[in-house]
Each structure stands twice: as C-alpha cells, then as structure tokens.
Amino acid sequence: MDYYFFIDLIQSLVDGLLFGTTYALIGIGFTLIFGVMRKLNLAYGAAALAGTYVGLAASLTMSLPPIVVFAISALGSGVIGYIVYLGCFRFTPASHPMASLLASVGMLLFIDELVIHLSHGMPYPYPSALRNAELTFGELWIRGDLLFVFGICVLAMGVLYWLLYRTPLGLATRAVSQQPRAAQLCGIPTERVNALTFVIAGILGGTAGAMTAAAVGVLSPVIAMGLTTKGLIVVVIGGLGSIPGAIIGGLMVGAAENVFQLLRGVTERDIYVMLLLFIFLTLRPGGLFGSTAGRD
C-alpha cells in the first residue's frame, strides 16, 4: 500500500467522522420525532435549513460573532419546527398517518421554495468558528472548524441526553413515547410534550444546518435535500427511535461517504452509501440499535 494512499485513507476517515457528527444531529432529530410520535417529519431537513437562514439573515443585518449566529440558527429552526408541528401534525388525525407524512412532504417543498425565493438561490457566506486553526500530526491534520463542529455536535447530543434522562420534561417525553394513553391518564399533557419535542428536534436540526454551513463556509438552498436524505439514511442504519443508533449511524455514513469517495470516486460514492442502506433494510431492517423485525 502506497504511503500517501494510507495517509489519505486515514485523513478521509477522520474528516468523514467529523462531518458525520452533523449527520448524527439530523438523524437524532428525525429519530426523536419518530420515537415520540411514531410519525416521520420529512420537512425536518428543510426546516433546519430555513432556521440556518434565520441566523444568516441576522448576521447580514448586524455584525455578530459566529457562536451567536449559530445560536440564532438553532432557535430559528426550533420555532420553524413548532410551525411544522402545528401545520402537519397537531390537527391531523392520528388514525391517518399517511396524511401527516404527506403534509410534511408538502411542507418540505413549501419551505424549500420559500427559502429559494427569498434568497434567490444565491450562495451566501456563512461564518465559521476557528476557521484558520488546525491540529497537525505529521502528514495528518484536523481542521479547527471541523473540530469545533464536532465539539458543538457532541455538546448538543450531551444536552439532549441530559434533557431526556435527567429532567421532568425528558421523563414526560419518554412516557409519551412508550405509552401515550397511559401518559395522558397520568396527567402528562401529551400535545405540549409533542410540541416541545418538535422544538427540541428543530433546535438540533438548526444546529446541524448551522454546522454544515459553517463547515463549507457557504450557505445555499441545495443543502436541504442532502440534510433530509442523509438524516433518513442515518436513522435507518442506526434504528428508528434510537438516539445512540443515530449517533453511530451518522458517524458511519460520514466516514463511509468520505472513504468511498477516496476509493471509488465521487460518481460511485453514493452508490456504496445506498448499498449500505439497502443491506441494512434487507438484513437488519430495525437498524443497529432497533428491534429485530420478523420476516416473511
């Protein structure tokens, strides 16, 4: 094996894992909503992007440090997440799951078009933190901004874990997730919990959108479809409803994408990622951490 190839392989793996944390965040958002409400919100990626644009708009109107822009993006996405909940899930009868799924598809297209219309499809510079910093280990180097993205994602996951397992809100969320009727009988306001879950998932999505844009340094509406697709792949691989699964799935997809790009080129890269998805769907439909499903 050629020395430079070996270095490239390690570097691709490292870069992929760091990028994979943004996929993990998106995956956690998807899985959180699915885990709690048993509904897929396909507008999630678009809402994350729209929230990122809220942060961008703030940074274009006033001079703000990157961390504040990221926070505004996350909060903006949380608010949009709540609007998506109201528009697609709150008033849709639970007996018609397809209605809310299709409503979320409609919302995805609507948000996407709105963002494109307002931004004229133009790419805009998005602030990055630690842009010029880097860690060097011989031939290998780690981008400071990606390390920052990684740190923010890990922090967001940690906060989520704390929220879910150390707070009354988390207890209520898990109760609604496991036994919605029993939770209601215990006096837990399920609609409020559902709405809060959407807001929290939205904040995670906004963080992922902000970190993706910060990693590229440019924000464009083309990011939305990638966020949605990657998020769905991550939850299938990790297991719908499993937060550890979404984290591992996100890192796996990020690493696989980068390594396959190095080994097989960009035109074949996605074939192998989709093959990975196909293998999981056929051999382990519950994903890495989901329950094993019965077969025909």
Partner 1 sequence: MKFNTLAAASIAALTVAMPAVAETTVKIAGFGASSGVVGVFGQNSSAAMQAATETINAEGGITLANGTKAKLVTEYYDDRCNAEEGISVLRRIATTEAVVAVGPTCSNVAEPLFGILQAKVDDAGDTGLQFPIFTDVAIKGGLAGISEWVFRNTPSEAAMYDNLFGWLRATYPDAKTVFGGVEEDFAHSRFTWYQVMKVAAEKHGFEVVGEGQWLLNDTNFSNQARAMRRAEADIVAISAHPFTTCGMLREMDRQKIKPQVLVGLTSSSSLETLTGCANEAEGLIIPTSFAPVNDAAKFAANAVAAKGGALDLHSAAAWENFMILRDVLNASAIEGTAETIESDRRKIRDALAALKTVEGLLGTNQRLPDGEAVKPYVFVGAKDGGWSVVHNPGS
| Minimum CB–partner distance for residue 116 and partner 1 (Å) | 6
The two beta strands, 124-125 and 218-219, are antiparallel
Give the nearest distance from C-beta 233 to partner 1 in angstroms: 14
| Binding interface with partner 1 (CB under 8 A) | 4, 8, 11-12, 15, 19, 113, 116-117, 120-125, 131-132, 143, 145, 212, 215-218, 220-223, 225-226, 257-258, 261-262, 265-267
Closest CA to 20 of 258, 285, 287, 269: 258
Nearer to partner 1, 183 or 215 (CB): 215
To the nearest whole angstrom, how small is the minimum distance from the Cβ of residue 121 to partner 1?
A: 5
Residue (172 or 215) nearer to partner 1, CB: 215
The answer to whether the CB of 129 falls within 8 A of the CB of 145 is yes
Nearer to partner 1, 12 or 173 (CB): 12
In contact, 243 and 258? CB cutoff 8 Å: no
Local structure of 106: helix, strand or coil: helix
Please report how close the Cβ of residue 47 comes to partner 1 at its closest, in angstroms. 18
H helix or E strand, kind and range, residue 219:
strand 218-219
How far apart are the C-alpha atoms of 289 and 245, rounded to whole Å?
A: 5
- Quote the least distance from Cβ 122 to partner 1, whole Å: 5
- Beta bridge partners of residue 137, listed in sequence order: 140
Q: Specify the residue, 203 or 223, whose C-beta has the smaller distance to partner 1.
A: 223
Nearer to partner 1, 175 or 253 (CB): 253
- State which residue, 135 or 182, has the beta carbon closest to partner 1: 135
Could you tell me the smallest distance in angstroms from the CB atom of residue 19 to partner 1?
5
294 DSSP 8-state letter:
P
HEC letters along 110-155: HHHHHHHHHHCCCCEECCCCCCCCEEEECCEEEEHHHHHHHHHHHH
Task: Give me the sign of the Cα torsion angle 223, 83, 79, 168.
Answer: negative
